[in-house]
Structure 1
Amino acid sequence: MMLAATIPVLNGCVPRTQVAPYRYRMTVEVDTPTGLRTGSSVIEVRPRLTGEFAADMAIVGEAVPVDLPDGRTIYALLWSRLAADWAGWIVLWLVRPPAMGNAPIADVVRAVAATRIPLVLPRRLPAGAGYPLIGMDARPSFVAFGDERRPKTIRFIDPDDIGGGMKLRRITLQVTDDAITHTIGDRLPWLASQRGSLKPSSMDAPLADRQLESLTEVAFVRRGY
């Protein structure tokens, strides 16, 4: 999907096929006045090749909740303003070195699956992520709810200024064999029946509300293709 637009595709049709899925743990660390708060989620990426240099990246997994000392919970989404399929591509974007810029996508995916060291998510995507992504914000979007029982109370959170003297310390991504996380349904039970935009808006709504209209339930939980 996203990478297909940034890497040349060879002429001719290549049958759709799959390469082995892999999992990674996303851990979010937040500095607070009472100490470090963390949350994590294990996400599975299921690549499906659509050509020698192109693929779809389905995922099974959930957003990362971080419980803060003031009673709020912030969520690092599976979605970013850079790409709706951020969670499927971010580890590949970080692992893929410039030397593999012209490598078949199957080889890049295998390199990702073999990388077991923790990766610290940079603020901006580095060289190797593929044109035109270099230099763009690498982080997922963060949200919180005024009332977690009411989806329409959702709002974006600035990870550099969460409020109350709190801010994001870092996000790490590490390929793992751990089980996929399935806990967010207990926090947000309405996700099971939610379909479409969490916060519908009109053209005359504030800009922040119009941007929030892009968020649906799949920003929080995905179950594959």
Structure 2
Amino acid sequence: MVSGATLGIAELTFCKRRSRARQRSDMQEQPVFQVEIAKDSGRVNHAANRESKWRSIYCGLFSLVVLAGCNPFPETWQWNQKLTIEISTPQGIARGSAVAHVSWQAANAAGNYPSSYSGEATVVEVLPNRYLFALLGEETKYIALRTFAKEIGGVSVSPTGFAAVSQVHGIRNVPPQHYPLLVTFTDISDPKTVQKVDPNNLAAAFGPGVTLKRITLEITDDSVTAGKIVALLGWLNDPAVMENPGWSSLPIDSRGAIGALLSHYPDLRGSRK
């Protein structure tokens, strides 16, 4: 299980994405006449200085790269991974999957491996209108290395490990100690009702006869999942929820969970009145 600190980290990351998205939105929504005035006022000077400016930029960037010992085109390893949850219920097996993209780069000057992920949480309808979510997070980037440790010769956060995972085939059970954080909303229409779910005791959240059968992972050519979470949780597109003062009024657990449902911030421009 992931500690409660994970939700706080997810909220901080999500807030940064919210801020960047809002800034982009504000820039895109500038009145046209302001943009045209800016273009007209700077056209002559821009044309006269374009060559010297670009020469200075290129030289500056080249100097930074040389001084930092960085590779501007680092070797990259990437793959799509499908996480599937299977749950036993009194009505039978409930199943849900989602595909995320993971990318790792060669070590930088500091000896770190830059990495990223994109996608959305895995969701499964356990019972009518009752859903279980497997959240995204730092574990998303490592789960393949850990799940396929046997196939790649041991867990290895290194170029050898990245390259080996990208070539793996087949489906494997995710080790229980590396399960993603599981949550549910007792009321799917209310983001305040988020609740952590114990993978060893789904009955506590969903009732008698509900158990987690397994969580599997597969390296796949399938496209990254998009749109499921937003379609299910309509309030993700509601500025009254996703922007202040509504956002700051949510419980911290709700904000943390919401921040780990998606790797990106929802586009709210079409939802603002």
Q: Tell whether the structures are fold-level matches, with TM greater than 0.5.
A: yes
Which secondary structure does the structure 2 equivalent of 1:181 belong to? coil
User: Is 1:178 aligned with 2:218?
Assistant: no
Q: Work out the CA distance in 1 between the residues paired with 2:93 and 2:104.
A: 34
The aligned runs of 1:121-132 (5 Å cut-off) are: 121-123=174-176
Where do 1:35-184 residues align within 5 Å? 35-51=92-108, 54-79=112-137, 85-97=138-150, 99=153, 105-123=158-176, 137-163=177-203, 164=207, 165-182=209-226, 183-184=228-229
Identity %: 27
The 3-state SS of whatever aligns with 2:119 is strand
Q: Which has the higher helix share?
A: 2
Q: Highest CA radius of gyration, 1 or 2? A: 2
Q: Secondary structure at the match of 1:185?
A: helix
Query: Which one of the candidate residues 208, 219, 223 is aligned to 2:260?
Result: 219
Query: What's 1:3 paired with?
Result: none
| Corresponding residue for residue 251 of structure 2 | 200
RMSD: 2.9
Q: What is the CA deviation profile of residues 135-193 of structure 1, one whole-angstrom value per residue up to 9, with x for unaligned ones?
A: xx211111111222221111111222222220110011000000111111101133345
What one-letter code is carried by the residue in structure 1 that aligns with 2:221?
A: D
Alignment partner, residue 191 of structure 1: 236
- 2: CA distance, partners of 1:188 / 1:107: 39
* Greater strand proportion: 1
Q: CA deviation at 1:49?
A: 3.3
| Structure 1 gap segments, 5+ residues each | 1-11, 80-84, 124-136, 202-211
- Give the SS at the match of 1:27: strand
- 1:221 deviation in Å? 0.8
Take 1:170 and 1:197, find their aligned partners in 2: how far apart are those partners? 36
Q: 1:51 to 1:65 in 2, by over 3 A?
A: same
CA distance in 2, matches of 1:96, 1:14: 30
Map Cα deviations across residues 32-69 of structure 1 (whole Å, 9 max, x no partner): 11111000001111223344963233111111111022
- Runs (5+) with no aligned partner, structure 2: 1-67, 266-273
For 1:41 and 1:50, how far apart are their aligned partners in 2?
A: 29
Corresponding residue SS for 1:173? strand
Letter of the aligned partner of 1:111 in structure 2? A
Matched positions, count = 184
Distance 1:197 1:76, change over 3 A: farther
- 1:195-225 CA deviation, whole Å, 9 max, x = no partner? 6789435xxxxxxxxxx3672433111149x
Contact kept? 2:77, 2:105, Cα under 8 Å: no
Q: How does 1:8-19 map to 2 (within 5 A)?
A: 15=71, 17-19=74-76
Contact 2:147 2:217 (8 Å CA) reproduced:
no
C-alpha contact (below 8 Å) 2:86/2:93 kept by paired residues: yes
TM-score, normalised relative to structure 2: 0.59
